[in-house]
Structure 1
Amino acid sequence: MEHVFTPVLDFQAALGECPLWSVADQMLYFVDIKRCCIHRFDPATGALATTRLPEEVGCIGLVEGGGFIAGLRSGLWMLEADGTPRGMLAANPEDQEISRFNDGSVDPAGRFVAGTVDETRERGFASLYRYDASGLTRLADGLLTSNGVAFSPDGRRLYHSDTLRYTLYTYDYDPATGAATNRQVFARFGSDTDKGRPDGGAVDTEGCYWTALFEGGRVQRYAPDGRLLAEYPVPAKCPTMVAFGGPDLKTLYCTSARVGRPEEELATFPLSGALFTMRTEVAGLARPLFNPSC
């Protein structure tokens, strides 16, 4: 099997993010943060449907019974399947002039774990939160850009990155309570010649973590013990996040960005902003559904 990322949707997203496969309807959802959109892509027909929201949407999760939980600038919201706001679950507790929700994922028990981004890029005002029926709980703070939220197959390890600090962490995670403890550095990135840094990620059935390297032009796969197993070039300088999809969960989708990128870079990587796919030998994990009563 040739492992090559190819464009499946030549789509110039400004900041494509949060690809999310729905097993129920065999569709891929993803967002364009800067254009305030949720997209639904049908790989069987190539059709793309777009829902526009009144503010930036950093992440989404599928909800039991239909619709989405979404991390917006103002907070966490419940949305109908067509994107109509159903109600706010929790306000963003940070300064919304410089903070918005970014990457997030539903945990194995049905809670939502999502973080924020510090748009000053220097003060460390961002945090990682867990949302459940008891409300919003801070799991980590002092971050620049919260990203990369994913869980091991047994739900007992939480992966999480601080992109602008070029660091990917793991936590011991308790699926019964949602407690995240014992933060450890899993991998560090970047050098004088390589500015690639960990953005969104996903975990496969072997427990390996896949991460898109923003400004690194590639996706990497790591063993649970932290060994780099493989890396795969992406025809865009800024891949943003990966997600497994397809009927067998062996199609790896990868979003990308073009907003704010230099003209010479876009000339070299004209597919920046596109949605890419690559077939894998190992399957990914089906994404859990958010349970509002959890």
Structure 2
Amino acid sequence: MIEPPVRRLLDAECLLGEGPCWDAARGVLWFVDIKRHRLWHYDPATGSNAAVEAPDQIGWALPAEDGRLLCGLKDGLHLFDPEARSFEKLAAVPGEPAHNRLNDGCTDPWGRVWFGSMDDAESAASGRFYLFDRGRIAPAGPAEIAITNGPAVNGDGTKIYFTDTLGQRIMVADLGPEGVGAARPFADVKAHFPDAWPDGPVVDAEGHVWTGLYNGWHLARFSPDGALVLTVRLPTQNLTKPCFGGPDLRTLFVTTAQKGLTPDRLAAQPWAGSLLAFDAPVAGVATTAVKLA
């Protein structure tokens, strides 16, 4: 275990901070506060930041090739124009029940978007994973999951990782330009952290998988064969998702959450809900822009 010097970059007071994504073209980090319907951006070079109110709960925002961001909201996919600071609905996700919402997502090296849905009440196994490929949305990956997280794709696009948060496990499948294979077990998070839930994952340049641990006080790093090789302790218990960013992809940004903390625990954890960062021991992988068409 390591306890690196951690920086509190922004006191965003996130009820449920999530979805950090490094936008290399703009040199900013995008992240969301799902429950407060906020899309944030943060510029580490200047410290400037701002939040825009989304039309509904927003799980993620990924830069697209045309300069807009593709976003996953409760009712489907939206496009966000950073210049106009406006959202436009692109598409609903076919077959999604009204009590579900979209939760987490990522791109692969071909500019496709992998994302998941979940029961907004966090109990029914009504969530599943999808693929957005140049305007087309189709089920792809595991189904019948209450809280999906990730996916996360490795640098060469040969592996994709799916998180079943309530099941306390991470799965892996083979990936390629033609599609995705069957998911199989990757890491039994419960065996290492019985009281924590794996949240958002990301893959580093060495092919290792990092995950936030909700109610866990730590980030965990797993080797490509699923072995736990590193834990990083941070100063608040609800760690949602890490993201590699900065000019050299050596800064690890981490979103956090206040959700579920009692007033006493909030008082004892003043950094809960903040955007945190520390210098990573390894570099990350650049995010591929979304291909919309």
Give me the whole-angstrom Cα distance separating, in 1, the residues matched to 2:103 and 2:89.
19
Cα distance 1:192–1:233, how it changes in 2: closer, same or farther (>3 A)?
Answer: closer
The offset of 1:259, in angstroms, is 2.3
- Larger deviation, residues 280-289 vs 1-10: 1-10
Per the alignment, residue 111 of structure 2 pairs with 110
Per the alignment, residue 70 of structure 2 pairs with 69
The answer to whether the Cα contact below 8 Å between 2:116 and 2:150 also exists between their aligned partners in 1 is: no
Q: Which runs of 5+ in 2 are unaligned?
A: none
The answer to whether the Cα contact below 8 Å between 1:77 and 1:89 also exists between their aligned partners in 2 is: yes
Look up the SS of the partner of 1:38 in the other structure.
Answer: strand
The offset of 1:119, in angstroms, is 2.6
Give me the whole-angstrom Cα distance separating, in 2, the residues matched to 1:289 and 1:182.
26
Cα distance 1:12–1:245, how it changes in 2: closer, same or farther (>3 A)?
Answer: same
The offset of 1:251, in angstroms, is 0.2
Cα distance 1:80–1:92, how it changes in 2: closer, same or farther (>3 A)?
Answer: farther
Per the alignment, residue 272 of structure 1 pairs with 272
Matched, 1:147 2:144: no
Equivalent AA in structure 2 for residue 86 of structure 1: E
Aligned residues: 290
The answer to whether the Cα contact below 8 Å between 1:19 and 1:242 also exists between their aligned partners in 2 is: yes
The offset of 1:15, in angstroms, is 0.8
Give me the whole-angstrom Cα distance separating, in 2, the residues matched to 1:100 and 1:161.
16
Cα distance 1:129–1:43, how it changes in 2: closer, same or farther (>3 A)?
Answer: same
Look up the SS of the partner of 2:266 in the other structure.
Answer: helix
The answer to whether the Cα contact below 8 Å between 2:115 and 2:150 also exists between their aligned partners in 1 is: no
The answer to whether the Cα contact below 8 Å between 1:76 and 1:92 also exists between their aligned partners in 2 is: no
The offset of 1:236, in angstroms, is 1.1
Look up the SS of the partner of 1:235 in the other structure.
Answer: coil
Per the alignment, residue 78 of structure 1 pairs with 79
Cα distance 1:193–1:78, how it changes in 2: closer, same or farther (>3 A)?
Answer: closer
TM-score (norm 2): 0.94
The answer to whether the Cα contact below 8 Å between 1:78 and 1:89 also exists between their aligned partners in 2 is: no
Residue identity over aligned pairs, in percent, reads 32
Per the alignment, residue 241 of structure 2 pairs with 241
- Tell me the alpha carbon deviations over residues 133-155 of structure 1, each in whole angstroms, 9 at most, x when there is no partner: 36211112101111021111110
Look up the SS of the partner of 2:166 in the other structure.
Answer: helix
Q: Which runs of 5+ in 1 are unaligned?
A: none
TM-score (norm 1): 0.93
Tell me the C-alpha RMSD between the 2 structures: 1.8
Give me the whole-angstrom Cα distance separating, in 1, the residues matched to 2:250 and 2:227.
22
Equivalent AA in structure 1 for residue 145 of structure 2: L
